[in-house]
Amino acid sequence: MDAEIVRAEGLTKFYGANRGILDVDFSVDAGEVFGFLGPNRAGKTTTIRLLLDLIRPSSGRLSVFGLDSRRQSVAIRRRLGYLPGDFRLYERMTGRELLRFFGHLRGLDDTSRGERLARRLDLDLDRRIKELSRGNRQKVGLVQAFMHEPDLLVLDEPTSGLDPLVQETFYELVEEATRRGGTVFLSSHVLSEVQHVADRVALIREGRLELVDTVDNLRTRSLTHVEASFAEPPPRDAFADVPAARELDRHGDVVRFALDGEIDPLLKALARFHVRALDVHEADLEDIFMALYRGEGEHAA
């Protein structure tokens, strides 16, 4: 069994009377990419701030590298690379000056790796931060997080503002980090991004974890989605008796089904009507995620 890098047990945080997260339990194994999914205000950033000891839990325990996240936070941070979702920079400094600043904080005498990363990301280090676009500021954030080859990368919405080509470079950096033995905790609401790189994912909803599983298992256990376009809308109860098929929704003459079994009974039921088009696809993380947030989690996974 892989060594645990992060372990959360009953992790709870309240902000006064307001809910942050409630009884959150998960672990992150060495060398994996752990995707932490949820919309805004679901509890993703609260969990990260607890992990970094930027805030303290109301109850529960959290350890990183086997160390207590509160009592040994300085030792933990020495081994971390962190990119916050609201990354802020010193506006008057150049990118190169910032890399030297971050390198000094981390005890690095040589920032050449950071400069190589900047070249890969097509980032001009000699421009002042105030002159950079949002995407280029995000590149600075990625460089400072990766440049010291940390044991654990904690990345909050890391591809925000990046164009597709730079996103591909980011995926390469994540793969290289895990290949050398690093671990990545990736928080995002971009489901395709997490599905692209994660080994396991956790879905958080209103401060509670709905599920934690591998991406492969979620794909295996998830439903097939069928979308049929009709010449005229069929009656509301036309497919109520079809085995293993459940009508999800309809918009005009388009009806969407979730299928948990063979498609043949549904095809025979559809054949009673004039079908203009038919689309069949396996559910991905986005389908599973949306089903959870519609209150259909038990059917989604």
What is the C-alpha separation between 191 and 35, in angstroms, rounded?
9
| Contacts with 89 (C-beta within 8 Å, 6 or more apart), sequence order | 98, 129, 137, 140, 141
pLDDT for res 37: 87
Residue found under tokens 């950071």 = 114
155 shares a domain with 23: yes
CATH number at residue 252: 3.30.70
pLDDT for res 301: 42
Asked whether residue 110 is domain-assigned, the answer is yes
242 shares a domain with 183: no
pLDDT for res 283: 64
Asked whether residue 294 is domain-assigned, the answer is no
What is the C-alpha separation between 7 and 68, in angstroms, rounded?
10
Asked whether residue 300 is domain-assigned, the answer is no
Domain that holds residue 263: 223-282
234 shares a domain with 215: no
Asked whether residue 299 is domain-assigned, the answer is no
131 shares a domain with 57: yes
Residue found under tokens 């900047």 = 118
pLDDT for res 291: 63
pLDDT for res 227: 94
Q: How many CA atoms lie within 13 A of 213 on its CB side?
A: 15
Helices 112-120 and 164-179: crossing angle in degrees, nearest 10, is: 140
232 shares a domain with 203: no
Query: What is the side-by-side order of every strand in the sheet holding 59-64?
Result: 18-29, 4-15, 59-64, 67-68
pLDDT for res 161: 86
178 shares a domain with 236: no
- Please count the structural domains in the chain: 2
pLDDT for res 194: 83
102 shares a domain with 232: no
Global pTM? 0.79
192 shares a domain with 110: yes
Domain termination site, one of 202, 219, 236: 219
pLDDT for res 284: 64
CATH number at residue 161: 3.40.50.300
pLDDT for res 297: 44
Torsion of CA 141, 162, 198, 147, to 10 degrees: -30
105 shares a domain with 232: no
What is the C-alpha separation between 259 and 151, in angstroms, rounded?
42
123 shares a domain with 30: yes
Q: In order along the chain (301 residues), what is the average pLDDT of each group of 10 residues?
A: 85 93 96 90 92 95 94 93 89 93 88 94 94 94 95 93 90 95 90 84 90 80 85 94 91 91 92 95 68 53 42
What is the C-alpha separation between 66 and 85, in angstroms, rounded?
26
215 shares a domain with 228: no
